[in-house]
């Protein structure tokens, strides 16, 4: 199979490397608007071929699939053209700049019977897959809350704010782990150095009392990547910055033991052992590339298909609207 | 000087111990509605005296000051009566259950020329005092954000929700460190086991783009007490759970180096040394008790006077209102 | 039961507090050569009685047991006199300054049918008891090594070097956890500020290839209390400085999978889950005091009897000899 | 300049990559006894050339320098032949299997006016260079001790024991940081799975009371890379496993304030701020390769020349001798 990679900036070379390493891929063709970036790629990966225009990719009947790692604003057009030319498409997160665009790509792929996949990389991370397994086993009970902190100094993006940059990771993890969709979004963000928010807090409201909260920050002195998942039976801490003990399952909880009068609920705490499971440490991008190639070869729906991408974009869009309205609650089902 | 301590439950004994240890105090008289709690206190502190009614305290002309460590709902009445009887008053945080009550206590104390102090204990913590010193030196620049995480499993309170329980600490630290007051509050909270919220997120909005955010949680598997303070020049991390290196000053920042066109701000990161200052490790409550006694002896205004208490209560009240309105922005200056 | 506590310096008050709290003890009598220390103790514990000479304790027929928390050099004489006067004896670690003295106390206690117990406090620590349980279950396999690091800045002792000060903790833990005794000792130590070693490394050699190693250090900038236990099946890390997750059991190991030629052993690593057990968090000294009182009441042998004390002292003595001979191997069975 | 890399196993590819990236190198020729390893290298680095025998390298007059990354036992012969053929030589640590061999290589390089460099990689590590700078500034005072822990599970070597595998790192750091040479060595090691020691403790004795101690272990459940350096004025902790705050300088110390009688030294502790310096994060191997190329181009002595290599090998040799004699002290100046 021959694939094309479009956009060889920060993330693109990782795509190139993983496509090269995949046994079903026998040619990787690259394109970037920057000639110098293409040259650097050729130095590093002498086996790739390059083209000078995107049209060359679109018109090459040998190219079955296109992977897009360009700025968000360009995702839609590039993906649309590729789909229209009959190519399967793999797009970096977030899938598109608007939900409307995402829906159009989904429809187009459907019409053409092509695969559309978004690179929600953390869904292919061994730690996250292990957490999914634990949640599905039922041992943590009902999820009461999901709290994610994803902060560090920089990398300021020029095209999107901190929410569009960092939150897709947590939103895709959340969408993967949690079987219910949020009802509404509220977000507050502040900008200090440019026209784009560099710190933001995003809250997702669910049916009943489940809540999810994200702290995304480009201005933090320390790098934190911590997700807390509070279940009614057990609780999970996923700390991506830990060298090996990234996932911890706490046998901790609260039990209602009775009531005293109308207002006083009697409560007891339970503190048991902690369990730190091992998990598979294959490079997540290799898994994602495999998933994409498999979905083409076997005509299956990839785990992170267009709908996953759409769900995340819909939340991002609502969050942005909420930020502009100072944290107003934006329903997710109205449109 | 003779003082009375009212309420000998969880925190009261610490007050008793610190009053006993203060050289200006020669008698500590205790009162609690629970006879058995009073007996336990007598076993532990054989030198205290006890009384059977609060009136005995109010009517004892030798008692100059009353310290109140009872449930929040009772603070106002107990403090009001003590002030009316000419006694200086020290109240556990939060000062009162409503801003109106706090204002009344302030006015009453003013009328009677008595001291009214709230036990914002963290203001007397060596780490926080050191941070104050660093901020006042100007070296961190303007504060862009303040982010506090105060989470752990339990202790569920029966009378107040997680915000009234945990947020006073962070709000009093914030009020002490930051010379400007917030303009508005937004808060979202959820309850899972009782009628009281057990997880809540609170956002404070300031003039310009300064923002403060608190995560208060009784349902977390791990205990975290972390405050990030983002300055334009440097950034501070205060981790109360660290054994010794609780305060770290990061010489990190962002610099705008130019612009490319209209939208693209060119930005550079600066990463320098980290500095971990020592600070005084005297028990904060001993400092607070000293501040109170000094303010009586020298007729001075205590650092955490009624107005500090009021500022915190006003925010808590607004936060509660916001929670009921699903995170609506509540202005702090309207009433 | 009436007990006496002798020596009310750094550790003595903890003994006093725990004896007071024990339900079988109705009177605690204290003695110290320093009058001012006795006065401080009376202020803190108004319910104690005091005496002016050790003889008053020895001659008081109501005193059944004596707890000794004085400098090491005085342990023997104080304990010997108490035993001779028919009193049960509890001695701070290390039991005595020489193995010969320890043996004499053991013999004397035996003759008089009295209890002799040494305060090897860590044997009563919930974390250590949990580790014992795990080792006894057989799940970690054979112990290959035991590595202990016990370092921090100060507290310099005036009467004993860093080994006599810190190593008794690790040696008593080791003696409790491991069913075999070491064959020989080698130790190297250095002194920098006084006549007493302030940094030392101690190695214990066992039958086969089991080895134990201790790093004791009064000159370290950070406080570390870490014990590694390498089993053939699993490995344990016990980090006393961790707030809650002090004990971790690693399902890790090495497996010999074959051989290539004469010299090349083929080896495979196994890395499984980590398990962090909860354990009982009762104050260890309360357990130790209970063990002592029980042993008197029920005429049983306390867990850390004179023989435990002797085993530790014998190693300390050999270590000191080794230090003087620059690390020479000193056999433990020769005398 | 054209260089050859011999041995393309675990570490060799890193050498290849760094030589390729160095601007003065225009050709990298590789050789390995394993044809398949050579093929893998060609796949990864299509720009390299390969040869089928070592002689082809020796006989190629265009090759100015040879880098050797083969098993330790082969270092001497390969290096000797390269030097004899007029080539500069870069050898992986440890330089040779015996001090005698190291001395012969030094002499040979000297005779031929060729560069002989050993890859003591940590000497080129930014953190270590920063520590060197701090020590040289005099601010930590005299070094009292150096304590290194380098432990983890595996990687068992087939040709050398844990000391020859891990200790060269710490010994080279120590040699670089400390201006005095050790007087003697004592080491104890144990083997559990093969004929090679998998856990070892090594002590270096210096004039006066300075001491260095290394814990090298292939059987530890956690990876630790911690070096403590105790100075009379300040102390340093270097924790290689920390993500960013690897070097901490503690303003802590002990001061002798007087004496009481003959035996009692009065001592005071000083605890000040902690300083966490930034340091350059260039890949150490890139610096080492640069140092080597520069030393050839400018005819200078590389920082880690044959003598550094010899010093380390001499200690390793003595340590091995000591292990065989159960920890006997082996002088370093006798031979």
Mean pLDDT of C216-224: 96
Cis, bond preceding B245 (omega within 30 deg of 0): no
D293-319 confidence digits (pLDDT tens): 999 999 999 999 999 999 999 999 999
Q: Does C127 lie in the same domain as C115?
A: no
Q: Does A21 lie in the same domain as A157?
A: no
Q: Does B188 lie in the same domain as B130?
A: yes
pLDDT at A319: 97
- Chain C partners of B244 at a C-beta cutoff of 8 Å? 223
C289-305 confidence digits (pLDDT tens): 999 999 999 999 999 99
The DSSP output letter for A86 is T
**Position with higher pLDDT, C218 vs A259:** C218
pLDDT band at B221 (very low <50, low <70, confident <90, very high): very high
pLDDT band at C334 (very low <50, low <70, confident <90, very high): low
Please judge whether B194 and A221 are an interchain contact, meaning their C-beta atoms are less than 8 angstroms apart.
Answer: no
pLDDT band at B334 (very low <50, low <70, confident <90, very high): low
pLDDT at C171: 98
* Interface subset of C 20-49, CB within 8 angstroms of B: 46-47
| C115, C295 contact by CB (below 8 A) | yes
Across the A:C interface, residue pairs with CB atoms under 8 Å apart total 24
C-chain residue closest to B244, CA distance: C222
pLDDT of B156 strictly over 90: no
Q: How many folded domains does chain A comprise?
A: 2
Q: Which chains touch B (3 or more CB pairs under 8 A)?
A: A, C, D
pLDDT band at B208 (very low <50, low <70, confident <90, very high): confident
- Chain B partners of C241 at a C-beta cutoff of 8 Å? 243
Q: Up-side HSE of residue A144: CA atoms within 13 Å toward CB?
A: 25
Please judge whether C205 and D326 are an interchain contact, meaning their C-beta atoms are less than 8 angstroms apart.
Answer: yes
- Chain A partners of B198 at a C-beta cutoff of 8 Å? 254
Whether residue B265 is contained in a domain is answered as yes
For residue C297, the domain's CATH number is 3.40.50.720
Q: Does A248 lie in the same domain as A155?
A: yes
pLDDT at A145: 97
C112-150 confidence digits (pLDDT tens): 999 999 999 999 999 999 999 999 999 999 999 999 999
- Chain B partners of A230 at a C-beta cutoff of 8 Å? 199, 219-221
| B86, B66 contact by CB (below 8 A) | no
pLDDT at C263: 64
Q: Structure pTM?
A: 0.94
pLDDT at D156: 66
- The interface predicted TM-score of the complex, written ipTM, equals 0.94
- Chain B partners of C47 at a C-beta cutoff of 8 Å? 46
Strands C143-153 and A63-68: unpaired
Average pLDDT, chain D: 94
pLDDT at C291: 98
| A309, A175 contact by CB (below 8 A) | no
pLDDT of D125 strictly over 90: yes
A241-299 confidence digits (pLDDT tens): 999 999 999 999 988 887 777 667 778 888 999 999 999 999 999 999 999 999 999 99
pLDDT at A262: 66
Mean pLDDT of D18-37: 95
What percentage of residues in chain B have a pLDDT greater than 70? 98
Whether residue A309 is contained in a domain is answered as no
Mutation site, B274, B275, B281, interface D, largest D CB count within 10 A:
B274
Whether residue A308 is contained in a domain is answered as no
Average pLDDT, chain C: 94
Whether residue D10 is contained in a domain is answered as yes
Mutation site, B152, B220, B243, B245, interface C, largest C CB count within 10 A:
B243
Whether residue A128 is contained in a domain is answered as yes
Question: Among the listed ranges A253-262, B5-14, B63-72, which one has the minimum average pLDDT value?
Answer: A253-262
Q: Does B153 lie in the same domain as B24?
A: no
Sheet holding A49-50, edge to edge: A49-50, A27-31, A2-6, A63-68, A88-92, A116-119
pLDDT band at B154 (very low <50, low <70, confident <90, very high): confident
Average pLDDT, chain A: 94
Whether residue A310 is contained in a domain is answered as no
- Chain C partners of D144 at a C-beta cutoff of 8 Å? 190, 192, 199, 219
Q: Which helix (H) or strand (E) holds A144?
A: strand A143-153
Using CA of residue D125, residue D128, residue D134, residue D138, what is the dihedral sign? negative
pLDDT at C156: 66
pLDDT band at B262 (very low <50, low <70, confident <90, very high): low
Sheet holding B63-68, edge to edge: B49-50, B27-31, B2-6, B63-68, B88-92, B116-119
Among D90, D107, D86, D97, residue whose Cα is nearest residue D304 = D90
Please judge whether A248 and C276 are an interchain contact, meaning their C-beta atoms are less than 8 angstroms apart.
Answer: yes
Q: Does D129 lie in the same domain as D276?
A: yes
For residue B198, the domain's CATH number is 3.30.360.10
A111-152 confidence digits (pLDDT tens): 999 999 999 999 999 999 999 999 999 999 999 999 999 999
Please judge whether D193 and C220 are an interchain contact, meaning their C-beta atoms are less than 8 angstroms apart.
Answer: no
Question: Among the listed ranges B192-196, C189-193, D124-128, D136-140, which one has the minimum average pLDDT value?
Answer: B192-196
Virtual torsion, Cα A310, A314, A317, A323, nearest 10 deg: -140
C-chain residue closest to B242, CA distance: C243
C9-40 confidence digits (pLDDT tens): 989 999 999 999 999 999 999 999 999 999 99
Using CA of residue B59, residue B63, residue B67, residue B69, what is the dihedral sign? negative
Q: Does B111 lie in the same domain as B172?
A: no
| D247, D91 contact by CB (below 8 A) | no
Q: Does C299 lie in the same domain as C246?
A: no
Q: Does A289 lie in the same domain as A325?
A: no
Please judge whether D223 and A241 are an interchain contact, meaning their C-beta atoms are less than 8 angstroms apart.
Answer: no
Please judge whether C221 and D232 are an interchain contact, meaning their C-beta atoms are less than 8 angstroms apart.
Answer: no
**Position with higher pLDDT, D267 vs B271:** B271
- Domain containing B96 equals 2-121+284-303
The DSSP output letter for D332 is S
Q: Does D128 lie in the same domain as D273?
A: yes
pLDDT of A161 strictly over 60: yes
pLDDT at A268: 84
Whether residue B309 is contained in a domain is answered as no
Q: Output the CA–CA distances (angstroms, integers) from residue C267 to C134, C235, D158, in the order listed.
A: 26, 17, 10
CA distance linking residue C175 with residue D334, whole number of Å: 40
CB within 8 Å of B100: residues ≥ 6 apart = none
Mutation site, B151, B221, B250, interface A, largest A CB count within 10 A:
B221
Q: Locate tokens 């180096």: which residue?
A: B257
pLDDT at C94: 97
What percentage of residues in chain D have a pLDDT greater than 70? 98
pLDDT of B130 strictly over 90: yes
D252-264 confidence digits (pLDDT tens): 998 888 777 766 7
Virtual torsion, Cα D52, D53, D59, D60, nearest 10 deg: 30
Measure CB to CB from residue B243 to each of C46, C47, C241 and give the nearest one.
C241
Shortest Cα–Cα distance, A43 to chain D (Å): 9
CA distance linking residue B329 with residue A187, whole number of Å: 12
Q: Does C163 lie in the same domain as C149?
A: yes
**In this structure, what are the phi and psi dihedrals at residue D27, rounded to the nearest 5 degrees?**
-150, 135
pLDDT of C157 strictly over 80: no
Whether residue C60 is contained in a domain is answered as yes
pLDDT at C262: 66
pLDDT of D238 strictly over 80: yes
A-chain residue closest to B252, CA distance: A221
Please judge whether A219 and B145 are an interchain contact, meaning their C-beta atoms are less than 8 angstroms apart.
Answer: yes
Q: Does D18 lie in the same domain as D137?
A: no
Helix pair angle (B126-136, B162-177), 10° resolution: 40
């Amino acid at each position: 199979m021959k694939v094309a990679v479009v956009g060889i900036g920060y993330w693109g070379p990782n795509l190139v490397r993983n496509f090269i390493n995949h046994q079903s891929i026998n040619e990787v063709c690259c394109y970037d608007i920057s000639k110098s970036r293409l040259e650097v790629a050729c130095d590093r990966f002498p086996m790739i071929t390059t083209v000078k225009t995107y049209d060359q990719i679109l018109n090459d009947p040998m190219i079955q699939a296109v992977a897009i790692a360009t700025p968000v604003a360009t995702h839609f057009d590039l993906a649309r053209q590729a789909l229209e030319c009959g190519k399967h498409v793999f797009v970096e997160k977030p899938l598109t700049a608007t939900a409307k665009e995402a829906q159009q790509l989904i429809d187009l792929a459907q019409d053409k019977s092509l695969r559309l996949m978004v690179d929600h990389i953390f869904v292919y991370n061994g730690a996250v897959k292990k957490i999914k397994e634990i949640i599905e086993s039922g041992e943590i009970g009902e999820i009461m809350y999901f709290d994610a902190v994803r902060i560090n100094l920089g990398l300021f993006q020029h095209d999107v704010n901190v929410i569009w940059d960092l939150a897709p990771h947590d939103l895709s993890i959340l969408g993967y782990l949690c079987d219910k969709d949020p009802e509404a979004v509220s977000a507050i963000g502040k900008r200090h150095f440019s026209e784009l928010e560099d710190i933001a807090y995003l809250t997702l409201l669910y049916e009943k009392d489940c809540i999810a909260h994200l702290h995304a920050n480009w201005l933090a002195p320390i790098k934190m990547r911590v997700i807390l998942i509070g279940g009614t039976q057990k609780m999970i801490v996923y700390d991506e910055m830990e060298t090996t003990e990234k996932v911890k399952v706490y046998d901790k909880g609260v039990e209602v033991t009775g009531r005293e009068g109308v207002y006083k609920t009697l409560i007891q705490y339970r503190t048991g052992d902690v369990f730190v499971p091992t998990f598979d440490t294959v490079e997540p991008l290799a898994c994602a590339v495999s998933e994409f190639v498999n979905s083409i070869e076997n005509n299956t729906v990839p785990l992170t298909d267009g709908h996953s991408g759409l769900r995340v974009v819909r939340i991002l869009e609502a969050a942005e609207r909420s930020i502009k309205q100072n944290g107003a609650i934006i329903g997710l089902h109205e449109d």
